[in-house]
Structure 1
Amino acid sequence: MGKIEWAMWANEQALATSAVVVLGGIIAVAGQFKNWQFGVYGIVVGILVFILEYPRGERKNGKCLERKFQRPLTKFVQCGGLLTRNYFVRFVLYLIFTVPCCFILPTLLGGMCFFITSAIYFTAAIKGEEWKPVLEDVTERKQGPTVIEPPRHPPPRHPPRQQPNDSRV
C-alpha cells in the first residue's frame, strides 16, 4: 500500500471550508445577525483561503494535474515563501481563523471545518510534507496534441487472423 499524502486531503478540505465560510458569512450579513461583522470576517477569510489553496501542490510521485487557471495563483503562493509553503504555518493560520468563526451561528460550521483542516495540515507537517508547485514540462506543451489512429476494424475488434498460404492451383 502507498503512503497517504495528507496535504492533498488538507487542500481539498480547505477549499470546501472556504466555500462553507463564505456562504455562512453571506447568511450572517444578509440576515443582519447580531455581531454580523463576524460574517464579513468569514467572507474575507474564505476568499483569502480560496486564493491560498486553489493552486494544487505537486505530489511525491510527480503525477498531478494542475487546476484550471491555477498558474497566476501558483506564482502568488511561490512568492509567499515560507509563509505559504510550510504546513506548520498553515496549521497555525487555520487554527487562528477558527476562533472568530465560532462566535456566530452561520459561520460556526465553517469554524469547525477550519479546525479539521488545521488538524490535517498538522499531520502533513509532522509527516514532513511541504507545498511544491506543479511544474508542467514546456516540451510537452510545444509538441501539441497526440493524434490517435482510428480503429481499422469494425466492432467487435478481434485480432486479425493470419491466412494460411493456400497454394491450390
Structure 2
Amino acid sequence: MGKIEWAMWANEQAIASSCVTALGGFIAAIGQFKNWQIGVYAIAAGVLTFALEYPRGKRQKGTSYERSFQRPLTIIVSQGRLLTRNYFVRFVLYLALSVPCCFVLPTLLGALCLMISGFIYLLAAVKGEEWHPVEAKKDEPGPKTIQEPKRPPPRRPETSGTPGAVESAQVNNRV
C-alpha cells in the first residue's frame, strides 16, 4: 500500500470548512445575532481560506490535476513562499482564524471544521509534506498528423500457411 498524503485530505476539508464558515457568517450577520460582527469576520475568514486552499497542490506521485481556473490563485500562493507553502503556518493560521468564530452559534460549526483542517495540516507537516504547484503538462513530441495506410483497400487478411486460412482468404476475396 502507498503512503497517505495528508495534505490532500486537509485541502478538501479546508475548502468545505471555508464554505461552512462563510455560510455561518452570512446567517449570523443577516440574522442580527448578538455579536453579529463576528459573522462578518467569519465571511472574510471563509473567503481567505477558500482563496488559499483552492489551488490544488502537486501530489508526491505527480498525478495531480489542476482545478478549473486555479492558475491565478496558484501564482499568488506560489509567491507567498513560507507563509503559504508551509503546513505548520497553515495549522497556526486556521487555529487563529477559528477562535473568534467559536463565540457565535452560527459560526461554531465552521470554526470546528477549520480546527480539524488545521490539525490535519499539522499531521501533514509532521510527515514532511509541503505545498508545490501543479505544473502544466507540456506537449509530447511526436507526429502531429495521422500516418496514411501503406496498402489501399480492400486489405486482404494475412495467411498463416494453414489450409483453412487459405480457403477462408479465397472466400473473402470473392466478396
Q: TM-score range by the shorter chain?
A: 0.7 to 0.9
Partner of 1:166: 167
| Counterpart AA for 1:23 | L
Distance across 2 between alignment mates of 1:166 and 1:68: 58
Distance across 2 between alignment mates of 1:139 and 1:164: 44
Partner of 2:88: 88
Normalised by the length of structure 1, the TM-score is: 0.85
Normalised by the length of structure 2, the TM-score is: 0.82
1:137: how far off? Answer: 2.4
Which secondary structure does the structure 2 equivalent of 1:165 belong to? helix
Partner of 2:122: 122
Which secondary structure does the structure 2 equivalent of 1:138 belong to? coil
- For these two proteins, the number of residue pairs brought into alignment is 152
Distance across 2 between alignment mates of 1:69 and 1:99: 31
Identity of aligned residues (%): 62
| Counterpart AA for 2:76 | F
1:47: how far off? Answer: 0.3
CA RMSD of aligned residues (A): 2.3
Distance across 2 between alignment mates of 1:27 and 1:98: 17
1:42: how far off? Answer: 0.3
Partner of 1:159: none
Gaps (5+ residues) in structure 2?
147-159, 171-175
1:139: how far off? Answer: 2.3
Partner of 1:8: 8
Partner of 2:72: 72
Which secondary structure does the structure 2 equivalent of 1:139 belong to? coil
1:15: how far off? Answer: 0.2
Partner of 2:60: 60
Partner of 2:20: 20
Distance across 2 between alignment mates of 1:137 and 1:99: 40
What stretches of structure 1 move > 3 A for 4+ residues in a row?
none
Distance across 2 between alignment mates of 1:45 and 1:73: 17
Distance across 2 between alignment mates of 1:136 and 1:45: 30
| Counterpart AA for 1:39 | G
Q: Give a deviation string over 1:67-92, Cα, whole Å, max 9, x none.
A: 00000000000111100000000000
